[in-house]
Amino acid sequence: MTDPKANRKALQVLEGQSFASPPMWMMRQAGRYLPEYRATRAQANGFLDLCYTPELATEVTLQPIRRFGFDVSILFSDILVIPDALGQDVRFEEGVGPILEPLDAAGIQTLKPDNVLKHLEPVLETVSRVRDGLPAETTLFGFCGAPWTVATYMIGGRGSPDQAAARQMALTDPDSFQILVDCLVDSSIRYLSAQIDAGADAVQIFDTWAGSLDEEQFRRWCFEPLKRIVSGVRAHHPDAKIVAFPKGVGPLYEEVARDSGVNAVGLDWSVPTGWARDNLQKHCAVQGNLDPQKLIAGGRALDEAVDRILEDLGSGPFIFNLGHGITPNAPVAHVEQLVARVRGFKR
């Protein structure tokens, strides 16, 4: 009997293979730049309702696969479903973004980790539905937010340019902050393992705000928790394929690629691709790293950027992606241009 995973190119890249035409997808590919997403979103009673309604979440997850034929489908959800599952008040306001009731040391003690998987059963149902609805050759990614990044929202109550509230707690009350990070590590292990049980081929850990920490704090609050999550997921699934995206960490990417145990690192657009080729691909696959602004620009700027990335990284294990999420103002025609350029690239 043929293995249904045999033709999933992105999964093969995570196992160390290379392809002349690399697999591709885009962060936030199921999103507001698509008219079909906006139409489906209008059926939900708020953003979290969209995440927790399997029929709707499955539909928006599959939309970019139908339209563009990406090699990877990533679960439509949000990194803040874990704080919501832990019992923190989480809401999304149109035009503002996520707003949480900020946690202090006392509030950390009230979190309910035993409730996480029960609360997230609708998301796990979405994973199963998506896997059933995907072409056999399409790799399915699940995901979660990294403990540090999730903690910045839990402590600060919303996104911020410098994550100052969480950085201050980590410095002035590291014991309480450690309790929070430990809770998020354990919750993430169980959540990611359950996503794999439900049908995810691989999982990605998004550490969007890792670049706000210095080297010492990065190792304590980002790198060590990442290693614990990787180890914990593999205790349940020894062959689990895991991607880390520690945005903005510069040369510390090499430590993640070499020592964390992940199968791939996602690169933000500031990472020089030649450096990534020479220093990262010898340790693991890489994914990235087109500047989303070049996708908006389109034309020659987009073509030249795509070619440069493929020339530098395409000879090793590589998944083409953006260096962060696609923005709502990205023209669909430019995404079509991007897909055609990657698919048609020749050395």
Q: Which structural domains are found in the chain, ordered by start?
A: 9-344 (3.20.20.210)
**Per-residue pLDDT tens for 13-32?**
999 999 999 999 999 999 99
CA-nearest of 204, 165, 180 to 86 is 180
What letter would DSSP give residue 160? -
Rg (CA), the chain: 19
Q: What is the pLDDT of residue 1?
A: 60
Environment class of residue 342 by beta-carbon count within 10 Å: exposed (0-12), middle (13-18) or buried (19+)?
buried
Measured CA to CA in angstroms, residue 233 lies from 121, 177, 217 at distances of 18, 22, 24
Task: Decide if 291 is catalytic.
Answer: no
What letter would DSSP give residue 24? B
Q: What is the pLDDT of residue 4?
A: 80
Query: What backbone torsions phi and psi does residue 242 show, to the nearest 5 degrees?
Result: -130, 135
Question: Which residue of the set 8, 28, 129, 228 is catalytic?
Answer: 28
Task: Decide if 28 is catalytic.
Answer: yes
Measured CA to CA in angstroms, residue 160 lies from 18, 71, 83, 98 at distances of 38, 33, 17, 11
Whole-prediction pTM value? Answer: 0.97
Question: Which residue of the set 71, 78, 84, 312 is catalytic?
Answer: 78
Question: Which two structure tokens, joined as six digits, stand for 187?
Answer: 């919750």
CA dihedral sign, ordered 48, 112, 128, 243: positive
CA-nearest of 239, 9, 273, 263 to 136 is 9
**Per-residue pLDDT tens for 240-263?**
999 999 999 999 999 999 999 999
Question: Which residue of the set 33, 37, 52, 153 is catalytic?
Answer: 153
**Chain Cα centroid distance, residue 128:** 18
Question: Which two structure tokens, joined as six digits, stand for 300?
Answer: 């020659």
Q: What is the pLDDT of residue 8?
A: 98
Measured CA to CA in angstroms, residue 286 lies from 47, 95, 157, 225, 240 at distances of 31, 33, 32, 20, 17
Task: Decide if 153 is catalytic.
Answer: yes
Measured CA to CA in angstroms, residue 120 lies from 81, 83, 113 at distances of 8, 11, 12
Task: Decide if 41 is catalytic.
Answer: yes
Number of helical H runs and strand E runs in the chain: 18, 9
Task: Decide if 33 is catalytic.
Answer: no
Residue with tokens 């919750």: 187
Does pLDDT of 346 surpass 80?
no
Please name the amino acid found at residue 160: S
Q: In the chain, where does DSSP find H-type helix?
A: 9-14, 35-41, 47-51, 54-68, 81-86, 105-108, 116-119, 121-133, 147-156, 164-172, 174-198, 215-218, 224-236, 253-259, 273-279, 292-297, 299-313, 332-344
Could you tell me the pLDDT band of residue 96, with boundaries at 50, 70 and 90? confident
Question: Which residue of the set 32, 158, 220, 234 is catalytic?
Answer: 32
Could you tell me the pLDDT band of residue 345, with boundaries at 50, 70 and 90? confident
**Per-residue pLDDT tens for 60-88?**
999 999 999 999 999 999 999 999 999 99
